């Protein structure tokens, strides 16, 4: 069966939406969720019940969820693994929304991993890319200096300390830095994604601020918006604003995101809490 067919795409969407739900709803409500309530809520967000249950099962198999009943209600608790991963994601998202300070310099990662460890070499490349590093040459990756700790963790987790070197410093080359950065990341594609998000949610933000939606509609909009948004900062390295194009859409999209969170977060959590066995006291 193709990994790119409608079923595979639906399953991928379900997994990302459930992860969004875990981070944005389950954590604020005490790091635990009822099974039936979760299925009910996520069907309101546009998923089908079978896909939700499949996604939850896979997260349990992957060590994100532990079965735990509360007040006679079957449910799942977030594991330490899930909480650590979600917290790490928060860090990337919020860093990406705040442009780095050019004066802080750059983090450069260079590695020479032997062929016998090819798989880990590919893992390191993928991990650095996921963290927002750009590729400026063979086995040479760059990001704002604040990503040093994240790069060090990636190297240590893969056991590649003896094959990697990490430097932090200022840029002193003769090549135009903006051109260098635009060739190291697909910043045009990132900007296009920000513009698409802003174009899609511009009217939504105005509408929910003008006329508050029903709790169920607020929840569905909130989860869908967050699920779309959280993919963007993972692609955005958070470069110093003075090195980006004057019409960079990141600030516009970020402003809309903050408006929507401000308008939708509280009613969404209140609506979700009604599916918890202790009701709104979960908040």
Render pLDDT for 261-274 as a digit per residue (tens, 0 to 9): 999 999 999 999 99
Report pLDDT for 1. 43
Q: Which residues contact 42 (CB under 8 A, 6 or more apart)?
A: 17, 18, 21, 52, 223
Could you tell me the residue ranges of all domains in the chain? 6-83, 106-169, 185-282
Residue 61 has pLDDT above 80, yes or no: yes
CATH number, domain 106-169:
3.30.70.240
The Cα 103–Cα 260 span in angstroms is 32
Predicted TM-score (pTM) of this structure? 0.84
Report pLDDT for 130. 83
- Over range 7-36, report the average pLDDT: 87
Report pLDDT for 97. 74
Report pLDDT for 281. 59
Residue 248 has pLDDT above 60, yes or no: yes
Helix residue ranges per DSSP H, the chain: 6-21, 35-44, 49-61, 80-97, 118-131, 148-157, 177-184, 187-210, 215-229, 231-235, 250-273
Report pLDDT for 91. 75
Report pLDDT for 151. 94
Residue 23 has pLDDT above 80, yes or no: yes
Report pLDDT for 9. 55
What is the architecture of the domain spanning 6-83?
Orthogonal Bundle (1.10)
């Amino acid at each position: 069966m193709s990994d790119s067919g409608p079923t595979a795409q639906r399953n991928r969407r379900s997994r990302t939406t459930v992860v969004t739900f875990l981070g944005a709803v389950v954590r604020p409500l005490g790091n635990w969720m009822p099974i039936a309530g979760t299925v009910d809520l996520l069907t309101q967000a546009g998923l089908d019940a079978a896909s939700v249950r499949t996604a939850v099962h896979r997260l349990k198999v992957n060590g994100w969820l532990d079965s735990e009943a509360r007040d006679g209600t079957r449910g799942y608790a977030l594991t330490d693994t899930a909480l650590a991963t979600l917290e790490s994601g928060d860090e990337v998202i919020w860093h990406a929304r705040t442009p780095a300070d050019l004066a802080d310099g750059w983090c450069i990662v260079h590695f020479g991993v032997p062929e016998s460890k090819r798989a880990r070499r590919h893992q390191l490349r993928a991990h650095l890319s996921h963290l927002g590093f750009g590729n400026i040459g063979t086995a040479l990756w760059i990001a704002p200096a604040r990503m040093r700790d994240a790069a060090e963790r990636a190297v240590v987790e893969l056991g590649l300390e003896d094959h990697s070197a990490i430097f932090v410093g200022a840029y002193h080359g003769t090549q135009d830095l903006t051109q260098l950065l635009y060739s190291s990341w697909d910043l045009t594609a990132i900007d296009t994604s920000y513009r698409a998000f802003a174009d899609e949610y511009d009217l939504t933000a105005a509408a929910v601020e003008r006329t508050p939606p029903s709790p169920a509609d607020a929840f569905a909009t909130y989860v869908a918006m967050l699920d779309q948004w959280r993919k963007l900062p993972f692609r955005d390295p958070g470069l110093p604003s003075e090195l980006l194009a004057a019409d960079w859409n990141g600030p516009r999209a970020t402003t809309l995101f903050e408006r929507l969170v401000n308008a939708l977060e509280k009613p969404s959590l209140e609506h979700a809490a009604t599916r918890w066995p202790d009701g709104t006291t979960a908040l």
